[in-house]
Amino acid sequence: MRSYQRSSPQALALVEDHDETLAAACRSVVQRSCWAGWACLETPLPAVPGVEHDWQAAQLAQGPLRFVARNQYKPGRAPQGETLTLLAHPDWSDQHLEDEPQIVACRLLEALAQTLPPGTALPRVGRLGAHRWRFAHPEHSTINAPAPDGDYRVTAAGLALCGDAWRGPRIEDAWLSGHHLGLALAAPHAQPTAPGDSHDL
């Protein structure tokens, strides 16, 4: 059985029997894992002194948690109670990759509780869970130092690859990569738009 652990985008499985150049490109991209938890609380998070009551997201440097989003404050959301997304650090996710989702969810919520001022309790939890993304995001971003091959891959065989793996770990990166590949395929003799050009979006 072939193993693709951490090595590359899942696209490797699709291209490796057909195009060694693309397969090698896939192998060069390391994908990191991410445990993503969610929690629906019965009442809002307690206020944190010095922080606006409707804060939308927080990044954390240490511990299991790296990012917390409060979904009820995202633009365009239907009215809802306190609904949290809890993303784990890549190193922590790798170390706990095979743990049970419910245990991971509890650890992430515990980590959030520890960021609150001492003596502050979390509200009661209505629903809690976690999902493991084994190939969540590329380890390296090429946004600030564009790779010589640009933010997609295409070969003479007519196969091509695009997505966040070739650019950076955000949805905009995936979109731009696909957009640039589309331009290149539609006008094969034209120079593809350079990654990061301000008129891209």
Interface positions with ligand FAD (CB under 6 A): 10, 13-14, 34, 36, 87, 133, 136-137, 163-164, 169-171, 174
Q: Token pair 């804060």 is at which residue?
A: 55
Least distance to ligand FAD, CB of residue 50, Å = 25
Smallest distance from the beta carbon of 187 to ligand FAD, in angstroms? 22
Closest to 160 in 3D by CA, of 4, 15, 13: 15
Helix (H) or strand (E) holding 21: helix 20-27
Q: Kindly state the smallest distance separating residue 109's Cβ from ligand FAD, in Å.
A: 16
d(CA 85, CA 185): 37
| b/e burial code for range 141-172 (CB count within 10 A of at least 16 → b) | ebbeeeeeebbbbbeeeeebbbbbbbbbbeee
Residue whose Cβ sits closest to ligand FAD = 163
Least distance CB 190 / ligand FAD (angstroms) = 23
Question: Please, which residue, 1 or 156, has the CB nearer to ligand FAD?
Answer: 1
Tokens 């991410």, residue located: 34
Nearer to ligand FAD, 34 or 41 (CB): 34
Closer CB to ligand FAD, 87 or 111, in the complex:
87
